Structure 1
Amino acid sequence: MTALTCFKAYDVRGRLGVELDEDVARRIARAFAEVLGTGHVVVGHDPRASSLALFDAVKRGLVEAGVEVLDLGLCGTEEMYHATAYFEADGGIEVTASHNPMDYNGLKMVKAGAAPLDPATDIVKIKALAESGQFKPEKPGGNIRPAKAARGAYVRAALSFIDVPALRPMKILVNAGNGAAGPTFDAIAAALAKRRAPLSFICMNHEPDGSFPNGIPNPLLPENRPVTANAVLAAGADLGVAWDGDFDRCFLFDHLGRFVPGEFVVGLLAEVFLAKEKGAKIVHDPRVMWNTKEIVTRLGGTAVMARTGHAYLKQALRDTGAVYGGEMSAHHYFRDFACCDSGMIPWLLIIELMSRRGASLADLISERMTAFPSSGEINFRVDDSGAALTRVLAAYEKQAVARDDTDGLSLDMGDWRLNLRASNTEPLLRLNVEAQRDPSLVAVAVERLRMLIEATA
């Protein structure tokens, strides 16, 4: 039995030639089909140089299991999600490493209805079978056919979230980062133009290119933001949008070139949906949440907290019937999009909100950022994360007015709060601090917490 280290908390991700190769991808796909009992599986891939060979291997493993493969070709992860639900397939697989380094790739997998795999059962069973290789005999009848209607159906679904006639004239800069977003964006833009939306677009790094000549697209990293921010200013754009490699996350910039932190986008989208559906439930993660909770409560909705991570957010939407869920990391989930995340729907909703309010994005977020200053996520590499958490708890627990252990350690200190949690995907401790109207509280808390986390004794 060969241990597979490419299995993470809720997907597959690994170094090429070390943890993941074509044979491993084939075995995982075959195990996926046997464990879930699939007959029809949707498969797509991002533009990475290694993705096409892994994509072919995945299809081969599925065909060996007698599966009819619906071939999406180059697409974003959310197109795979949508196609899985739209075609009523038994599952879906996207070959992508999203924003990981060049020597990585991976697989994102879902069940029927684009439901996430259960980390405790489905993924454990798929991993065990892929490791053992004790597959059933090959089944006849497996085949591959192109899913020709998939993109058109996806575009219609994305645009169904907004009222196109309500849009006002706007210039939008989009940075696809040479990832998968370009062709899909073009299809959306063409549909908007056909419906006479008064929008103009400036596109940069638009062509998919697996060598990523402008760097791996990950706008969450501060060092990657200036290229989009500067382009927004140079173009005089009303809004900037940038995506990661498989565009399941989108990142926004206002007309001043300012990056909009993810938690404030969550608040704006909560506002959008509470205007569309009175009293709706809104799901949020525990890392930075005060802005979202204040908006949801004020507008008559119900805020629901879920653990960080796509499997947990999606399940929370399914369990509660929430209309929308958002994470500060720029993942946004929609009940009417199979409870899945999308990097295209958010910016469409934001331009509709800007149009309806007659306000710039800067106008919409400035007061919120003043009311709820936050640190942004700060990552620490530590030898013993448990010891670090214990030190923080010992220093602050007696002063805290509330404690929550839903996801890591959350302590509410009254006028500021912290969340400290171990990453689901990397050997890191992640810290977030937020406050009410006093950024100095954030700065002081971060420095003290840094000393506690990094202490060696």
Structure 2
Amino acid sequence: MLTKEWKQFKSGTDIRGVASEGPEPVNLTDEVIERIARGFALWLSEKTRKASSELSVALGHDSRISAPRISAVVTRALTGCGIRVFDCGLASTPSMFMATLDIPCDGAIQITASHHPFNRNGLKFFVKTGGLDAPDIEALLLYAQENKAPAADKPGSVEPSDHMKIYSAHLRNIIKQGVNAENYDRPLEGFHIVVDAGNGAGGFYAYDVLEPLGADINGSQFLDPDGMFPNHVPNPENQQAMDSVCSATVIAGADLGVIFDTDVDRGGAVDSQGMEINRNRLVALASAIALEGNDGGTIVTDSITSDGLKRYIETTLGGVHHRFKRGYKNVINEAVRLNEAGINCPLAIETSGHAAMRENYFLDDGAYLVTKIIIKLAVLRKEGKTLESLLESLAEPKEATEIRLPITEEAFRECGEKILADLEQYAKEQNWQIAPDNHEGLRVSFGKGEGEGWFLLRLSVHDPIMPLNIESDAVGGVEIIREKLIKFLTTCSGLNLAPLLG
């Protein structure tokens, strides 16, 4: 059983903590990092049934200021266990998975905390079959807690690896094959694409993928790595970040804008009119791409996707929409499960921008998603069409909001589960329409005159929070639905309703 001290580092399928001085005390100390790295070495040795001296591990990092320190500590810990380390330097998270196949090696570690503030950092782990799951993270943390490590009869080694060049070439080849232009090696000549890397690890996409293929990348911004993220949060879900890339795309007169999070496992896009292709629009576009050649296929999304998106996937595209739990790994694992059960499922995607295609190992890779969008842009241009025309039939809500309600009781999970159970009973008494495909929390729909939309109340995966999403197809509908919920939630204890009432 993990103690509170070590459990704090587990964030779903990642390790996360405070790595640099700032508003919080540092808890990802050298000792903690070293013990976690040794724990992974022991876990990997057992997983592969190899002695640690026979193992090899790729190591990369994003642009965070704590990366050099953590990288040095991880390298020292792994080589101390006899492991051969391939130092990939500044890299994207998806490239670290690909390194297990390309180099090849037994495992990989990416030092990243995604879009979190500059003072935080963490570690993501991969093997040849994909990223580690939550039970694997718990197991290696237990080894760290017990200070266990594999025995080594000799020290390991370190060698530099320019794997990002291999990964970039891989993406270029996908575009060449997908566009199949007359000038095969320069398929993006005549295209103007703006890239916003948010000073994370994604600048390579402009310089090493798009420009060599002939694309005009003028107007691209924040391509240089800077772990203090001075311009905006590197996060496609952040409105300031999206406003920034939308503006840059319009000013440049570009055909497309793309934006990545810090470690490039998520991406978003902007059309030539400066309109976001994000959240539901991104899911719709990715679904249209994934269902080509997969007629009637199933698209797995997280739970907060809109009713209009469901109609687009099922009516316009002829696919099946399967809503599942929030959490990119939950969505991916569900897609894998469906395929194993014989159901054709080519895509798992969260509204946050995590998109994983079956054709790409179900790896959530923002650069791969953007690559597929660029191919679609080029193919549509040959047909005299645009990306915008592909999304014309997508009905979007008139109003949408997300409200995060703090749980005030220490046993927050039990409190949240009771509130959801009581709400379900209340909904039945009110004859509310409970969603039949509900896999998380409670989703309820309302017809005309009743708000003309839906709400989803759920329990956060990790935090003492109950996120509430409300969408409506009518102006003023969100307020009608909000009032219905207030009537119930004011009878509940253990929930801070200030964000809902304010």
Q: Smaller-chain TM-score range?
A: 0.7 to 0.9
Secondary structure of the residue aligned to 2:11 is coil
Task: Mark the CA change 1:388 to 1:319 in structure 2 (over 3 Å): closer, same or farther.
Answer: closer
Any idea what the Cα deviations from partners look like across 1:62-109, whole Å, max 9, x if unmatched? Answer: 222222222211011111122123334322211011211122111111
- The answer to whether the 8 A contact 1:2-1:131 is kept is no
Closer/same/farther in 2, CA of residues 419 and 152 from structure 1, 3 Å limit = same
Aligned counterpart, 1:22: 30
The counterpart of 2:302, out of the listed 285, 292, 308, is: 285
Matched to 2:119, the amino acid is: D
- Give the match for residue 300 of structure 1: 318
Superposition deviation, residue 253 in structure 1: 2.3
Please list every run of 5 or more consecutive structure 1 residues that lacks an aligned counterpart in the other structure: none
Q: Return closer, same or farther for 1:313/1:98 CA change in 2, 3 Å cut-off.
A: same
Q: Secondary structure at the match of 2:219?
A: strand
Provide closer, same or farther for how the CA distance between residues 11 and 243 of structure 1 changes in structure 2, counting only shifts above 3 A. Answer: same
**2:76 alignment partner AA:** R
2:225 to 192, 201, 208: 208
Q: Given the alignment of the two structures, is residue 389 of structure 1 paired with residue 420 of structure 2, yes or no?
A: yes
2:195 is the alignment partner of 1:174: yes
CA distance in 1: counterparts of 2:60 and 2:189, whole angstroms: 35
How much does 1:316 deviate?
2.6
Equivalent pair of 2:323/2:438 in contact (CA under 8 Å): no
Aligned residues of 2:58 and 2:99 also touching (Cα < 8 A): yes
Partner of 1:134: 148
Greater CA drift, 210-219 or 361-370: 361-370
The total of aligned residue pairs comes to 449
Q: For 1:3, what is the secondary structure of its paired residue? A: helix
How far does residue 404 in structure 1 lie from its aligned partner after superposition?
5.0
Q: Which moved more, 1:352-361 or 1:220-229?
A: 352-361
Q: Using the alignment, how far apart are the partners of 1:181 and 1:373 within structure 2?
A: 33
Q: Is the counterpart of residue 269 in structure 1 residue 286 in structure 2? A: yes
What are the equivalent positions in structure 2 for 1:83-102 lying under 5 Å apart?
83-102=99-118
Shift of 1:270: 0.8
Map of 1:5-404 to 2, 5 A cutoff?
5-16=8-19, 18-37=26-45, 39-113=55-129, 115-119=130-134, 121-157=135-171, 159-160=173-174, 162-165=178-181, 169-193=190-214, 199-298=216-315, 299-321=317-339, 322-357=345-380, 358-365=384-391, 367-370=393-396, 372-373=397-398, 375-384=400-409, 386=416, 388-390=419-421, 392-397=423-428, 398-404=431-437
- Superposed CA deviations along residues 213-252 of structure 1, whole A, max 9, x for unmatched, are 2143223122333322222222222322222111211122
Letter in 1 for 2:221: M
Identify the residue that residue 457 of structure 2 maps to in structure 1: 420
What's the offset of the Cα at 1:130? 0.5
Judged with a 3 Å threshold, the aligned counterparts in structure 2 of structure 1 residues 282 and 367 are, in CA distance, closer, same or farther, namely: closer
TM-score, with structure 1 as normaliser: 0.88
Q: Which amino acid aligns with 1:438?
A: A
Counterpart code for 2:408: D
Check the 8 A contact 2:111/2:123 in 1, yes or no. Answer: yes
Inter-partner Cα distance in structure 2 for 1:95 and 1:454:
43
* Distance in 1 between residues matched to 2:171 and 2:252, nearest whole Å: 30
Q: CA separation of 1:351/1:315 partners in 2, compared to 1, >3 Å: closer, same or farther?
A: same
Residue aligned with 1:368, SS = coil
Q: Which amino acid aligns with 1:13?
A: R
Residue equivalent to 2:477: 441
Contact 1:271–1:295, Cα closer than 8 Å, also in 2: no
- Higher RCO (CA < 8 A, seq sep 6+): 1
Provide, for residues 380-426 of structure 1, a one-character-per-residue CA deviation record: whole Å limited to 9, x for no partner. 33325616535643543431243555222223446533222223244
Structure 2 distance, partners of 1:453, 1:261, is: 31
| d(CA) in 1 for partners of 2:273, 2:235 | 21
Query: SS state of the match for residue 277, structure 2?
Result: coil
Shift of 1:318: 2.7
Supply the distance in 1 between the matched residues of 2:74 and 2:391 (Cα, whole angstroms).
Answer: 43
Q: Distance in 1 between matches of 2:144 and 2:476?
A: 51
Q: CA RMSD in A?
A: 2.9
Q: Distance in 1 between matches of 2:267 and 2:338?
A: 25
Taking a change above 3 Å as real, the CA distance of residues 448 and 401 of structure 1, as seen in their structure-2 partners, is closer
Please identify, of 263-272 and 221-230, the stretch whose mean Cα deviation from structure 2 is larger: 221-230
| CA distance in 2 between partners of 1:81 and 1:405 (Å) | 32
Which residues of structure 2 form unaligned runs of 5+? Answer: 20-24, 49-54, 182-186, 340-344, 410-414, 494-502
Name the CA distance, whole Å, in 2 between partners of 1:413 and 1:367.
Answer: 22
TM-score (norm 2): 0.80
